[in-house]
Structure 1
Amino acid sequence: MNVLIVHAHPEPQSFTNALKDAAVAELTAAGHEVVVSDLYAMNFNPVASAADFGSRGSEDYLNYALEQRHNVKANSLAPDIAAELAKIKAADLVLLSFPLYWFSMPAILKGWIDRVFVSGIVYGGRRIYDQGGLSGKRAMVIATTGGRDHMLSAGGIHGDLTETLKPVLQGTLGYAGMTVLAPFYGYHVPYISQEAREAVLDDFRTQLRDIEKRETLVMPSLANFDAEMKPL
């Protein structure tokens, strides 16, 4: 299995980075091919702009998605976008590794998605959910938080974290056609003991060993909607 880990944390000594390293070690030991896009280390540009396109379908007005489609056909996407897109195409499993920032992902990872999940390849028209361009691939979120688990659960002050991350899990990964595995969360990690962190890492390693059988999240199917996306 080919695995792509997209990692977004600015501190190499972070616990998020330790989880990423554990994933690399565990999956490699299991015989999988693992590639890492460490966005901060790469100094990845997260800003979607006209500079992403080597040619233009319209010189007068920038419709980013339409220019993505034009540049896919013209083979003129910016080199950094093309390189990351090639990694996604080669991957059977994509892991997103990040700390929770303001109930979401860091801006650099959002920018990676904005620029690399290219219209015309990843999505577009009815190319969504089970007909999405990344159909057949799997994805999993690995996220760390400062908050405690009871704060980020159903009935907790912040609500259920998986529901909070719906824009990532469904609105991005599921929307693009990927089978979305149940996320892994490391809670309260800046404040717990090293012994507690090691226990979280051990749990994570154990869960990765059984990743082929991991629970998946339910996503919409286009078979349940008509041509106008109204429920049947």
Structure 2
Amino acid sequence: MNVLLVYAHPEPRSLNGSIKDFSVGRLQRNGHTVQVSDLYAMQWKGTLDAQDDTAYRAGTRFDASADSLQAFRNGTQSADIAREQEKLRWADALILQFPLWWYSMPAILKGWIDRVYACGFAYGVGEHSDTRWGERFGEGVMAGKRAMLVVTTGGWESHYAPRGINGPIDDILFPIQHGILFYPGFDVLAPHVIYRTGKIDEAGFAAACTALGQRLDDLWTSAPIAFRKQNAGDYQIPALTLRPELAPGKAGFGIHVA
């Protein structure tokens, strides 16, 4: 299988750097082909702007979605965007690895999403009618592929428990897992989170690698998160609200998991 690992950490000698190297080695030993997009090493441009279309004319009003669609359709996207899109097409599985910074991903990784997830490629596709609302949330260009987050955080696991001060880790990661990965069609696996990274010693690193190695071994056999598909009947269209008979009286992120 082909695996794309998109990695966002500025220091190659960090714990994250070691984890990334371990993951690449483990996947390759298991017979998989791996490409790594090391965003800091690539000096990835993190801002979506008019220059992402090589045919942009100075002085023209910039419209992020419309210009993105035009560049995608006309083949005038900047070369770095087109290369990353081709990696996504090639990959059978995507791993996003990053430290949790201020309850989200590093800005450079968000910038990768902003630019690579072009209109016409990852969003703005499919029929919009009274029965369907585009190819998204379980459908789209990434349908049939798998995705998983590998996340590090300095906080204790209890800080991210259901009653923890930071909020449940599944809620914190929901916008990424549901909104970034499931939206264009990925089957999303449960995240692999490594806690208290500042306290990990040699023995702790070995234990972390053992746990991560098992997740990588199971990349194609683990059951994905049972997110509800948008166009499969669970949602009222075009309102896109969950049908009242499903999870009655409940609200929040959890109702979108069957």
Identity of aligned residues (%): 36
- Is the partner of 1:139 in helix, strand or coil? strand
1:39 is displaced (CA, Å) by 0.3
Is 1:169 the counterpart of 2:195? The answer is no
| Range with bigger deviation, 172-181 or 187-196 | 187-196
Which residue of the partner structure matches residue 182 of structure 1? 190
1:64 is displaced (CA, Å) by 0.9
- Taking the aligned partners of 1:230 and 1:159, their CA distance within structure 2 comes to 24
Which residue of the partner structure matches residue 156 of structure 1? 164
Q: Which of 224, 227, 232 is 1:223 aligned to? A: 232
Give the letter for the 1:78 counterpart: S
Gaps of 5+ in 1: none
Structural mapping, 1:34-113, within 5 Å: 34-56=34-56, 60-113=60-113
Which residue of the partner structure matches residue 130 of structure 1? 138
Which structure carries more helix by proportion?
Answer: 1
- Taking the aligned partners of 1:177 and 1:51, their CA distance within structure 2 comes to 28
Given that residues 57 and 70 in structure 1 are in contact (C-alpha distance below 8 angstroms), is that contact kept between their aligned partners in structure 2? no
- Is the partner of 2:41 in helix, strand or coil? helix
User: Which has the bigger relative contact order, CA under 8 A and spacing at least 6?
Assistant: 1
Give the letter for the 2:232 counterpart: A
**Cα RMSD over matched residues?**
1.7
Give the TM-score of the pair, scaled to structure 1. 0.95
Q: Which of 193, 198, 207 is 2:215 aligned to? A: 207
Given that residues 139 and 183 in structure 2 are in contact (C-alpha distance below 8 angstroms), is that contact kept between their aligned partners in structure 1? no
- Is the partner of 2:138 in helix, strand or coil? helix
Which residue of the partner structure matches residue 32 of structure 1? 32
- Is the partner of 2:3 in helix, strand or coil? strand
Which residue of the partner structure matches residue 23 of structure 1? 23
- Taking the aligned partners of 1:189 and 1:30, their CA distance within structure 2 comes to 27
Q: Computing the radius of gyration over CA atoms, which structure comes out larger, 1 or 2? A: 2
Gaps of 5+ in 2: 126-133, 244-258
Q: 1:59 to 1:128 in 2, by over 3 A?
A: farther
Give the letter for the 1:157 counterpart: I
- Taking the aligned partners of 1:21 and 1:41, their CA distance within structure 2 comes to 14
Q: Which of 147, 152, 155 is 1:144 aligned to? A: 152
- Is the partner of 1:213 in helix, strand or coil? coil
- Taking the aligned partners of 2:202 and 2:160, their CA distance within structure 1 comes to 22
Given that residues 123 and 136 in structure 2 are in contact (C-alpha distance below 8 angstroms), is that contact kept between their aligned partners in structure 1? yes
